[in-house]
Amino acid sequence: MTIEYVIKGGRVIDASGETFADVLVRDGEIVGIGPDLNGSRTIDATGCVVAPGLVDLHTHLREPGKEEAETIESGSNAAALGGYTAVLAMPNTTPAIDCASVVRDVQAIARGVACDVEVAGAITVGRAGEQLAPMGEMSDLGVKIFTDDGTGVQDIRLMRRALEYARGLGVTLAQHCEVSELSAGTCMHEGEVSSRLGMPGQPAEAEELMVMRDIALARMTGARMHFLHLSTAGSVAMVASAKAAGLPVTCEAAPHHFTLTDECVSSFDPVFKVHPPLRTAGDVDAVRAGLLSGSIDAIATDHAPHPAYEKEKPFDEAPPGMLGLEYALALALTELGMDIAEVLARLSWKPAEIAGIADRHGAVAVGRVANLCVIDPNHEWTIDASGGASRSTNVPYVGRTVRGKVRHTIHRGVPTVLDYELQS
């Protein structure tokens, strides 16, 4: 039986431009874009933007191992509500996603959930930074990005070899930049606020030294390198100049790094604890400017659920991370002062390219799989503490009023969200 519907009355935006048009979807595929299309069913998009589904390069789904915080299913539901049709699942699970069998497990669990779950593999066995993980066998299963996220690969020789090996596989290595000698035992940014609060802090240089090192290694090896969650002005500047020099590097920034500063930690509430830590207002400005100029390619959520009891620990003992999937788009639209097409570039087609899934995500075009989101850019709402569809509630934006909300999400032609409601 044919399933057909038309998304009617919206403004279609993707990398190729924008146009007021209806979008006709049949059996999971976009079959028509144009004025006055008709289908057996209508999804209203009046006053809305019809965009490609969003792609998150940085999602912690916590399964396997920490299902009390999130599951692949609950995280995918949160993603759908946030407008995402694909997320890249980080490998810092228990066990770590560091070999073919765990990749297969995650892919099997992810079958049929509310968005595509792309799997990132670990660079080193157990993310321990000592021995290369079998990237080849994971690459055979479709893994295109490798990272030890949660920590950076500290050993320079090992990182060099990892990049060289990755180049042979045609995959990308993504780095969580943090030099452990400068970050061990710390729980926030080192500066005026940490000094006042009496908290051990890590300087911006803890991140910047590894960014600097990895740019040198990328130059040396010619391998593709992606920098995760850049948080300092210095990092943004270095990656921008590496790109200007023609190196094959890309980078991302997280919503909390363009909205929140280390001053938030004055509350001692671990909901504001994250790695890399919330930085200064100057760093926030640099991240915003980098997103505006395009030197930061993508907004990635670093969605990191933790159960409430973990976030009730003392600040220095609590685990780092905060939710992001349901807030990233609204925060970007509200805070960045960017044209919506530019925001969508950072949230959809750029990350789709980096993830190597641009054939299935990041465009609204005839003949493509219908991975779409329909955004009401004028919908004002206040972020609450519920955590939405996530199993966790570590939301650092509670009480903030934002503008722009995902009204519908279409994943492989199937509506996962209709009129702001998750479809089961």
Partner 1 sequence: MRHLLSIADLERSDLESLLQLTDRFVEVSKRPIRNVPALRGKTVVSLFFEDSTRTRLSFETAAKRLGADVMTFSVGTSSVKKGESLRDTVETISAFGIDAIVVRHASSGVPHRIRQWTNAAILNGGDGWHQHPTQALLDSYTIRSHFGSLDGLRIAIVGDVKHSRVARSDVQAFTKLGAEVVLVAPPTLLPPSLDGWPVTVSHDLDAVIGTIDVCYLLRMQRERMVEALVPSLREYAHRFGLSPGRADRLGDRAIIMHPGPMNRGVEISPEAADRPNAVVTEQVANGVAVRQAALFKLLGSESQFEAIEKAGS
Q: Residue 268 or 420: which CB sits closer to partner 1?
A: 268
Angstrom CA distances, 138 to 111, 121, 384, stand at: 18, 7, 39
Angle between helices 156-169 and 204-221 (to 10 degrees): 50
Nearest-approach distance from CB 229 to partner 1, in angstroms: 22
In the complex with partner 1, the residue whose CB is nearer, 316 or 353, is 316
Q: How far is CA 157 from CA 130, 133, 164, 213, in A?
A: 10, 15, 11, 11
Q: Would strands 249-253 and 298-299 be described as parallel, antiparallel, or unpaired?
A: parallel
Question: Which residue blocks in 230-384 are alpha helix, DSSP H?
Answer: 233-244, 281-293, 308-311, 328-335, 340-344, 350-355
- Which residue reads 């790695």 in tokens? 275
Smallest gap from residue 317 Cβ to partner 1 (A): 6
Select from 264, 305, 393, 367 the least CA-distant residue to 87.
305
Beta carbon of residue 318, minimum distance to partner 1 (angstroms, whole number) = 9
Q: Which is nearer to partner 1, 104 or 313 (by Cβ)? A: 313
Segment 195-202 long-range contacts (CB within 8 Å, at least 24 positions apart): 196/266, 197/265, 197/266, 197/268, 199/265, 199/315, 199/316, 200/316, 201/277, 202/178, 202/276, 202/277
Q: Which of 182, 127, 120, 172 is nearest to 153 (CA)?
A: 127
Backbone angles phi and psi of 118, in degrees to 5: -85, 145
Marked catalytic residue, from 302, 316, 359, 384: 302
Q: How far is CA 370 from CA 23, 38, 43, 88, 95, in A?
A: 10, 17, 14, 19, 34
The residue (of 28 and 319) whose beta carbon lies closer to partner 1 is 319
The answer to whether 316 and 199 are in contact (CB under 8 A) is yes
- Positions that interact with partner 1 (CB under 8 A): 190-192, 194-201, 203, 267-269, 309, 312-317
Start-to-end CA span in the chain (Å): 20
Cβ proximity to partner 1: between 315 and 381 the closer is 315
How far apart CA 251 and CA 270 sit, in angstroms, is: 26
CB-nearer residue toward partner 1: 246 or 314: 314
Residue 264 CB, shortest distance to partner 1, in Å, is 12
Query: Does the annotation mark 359 as catalytic?
Result: no
In the complex, least distance from residue 420 CB atom to partner 1, rounded to whole angstroms: 31
| Nearest-approach distance from CB 315 to partner 1, in angstroms | 5
Three-class secondary structure of residue 417 per DSSP: strand
* C-beta of 111 vs 309, nearer to partner 1: 309
User: Of 23, 27, 3, whose CA–CA distance to 13 is shortest?
Assistant: 23
Strand partners, 395: none
Nearest to 43 by CA among 408, 414, 412: 408
**What is the nearest approach in angstroms of partner 1 to the Cβ of residue 194?**
7
Active site residues: 302
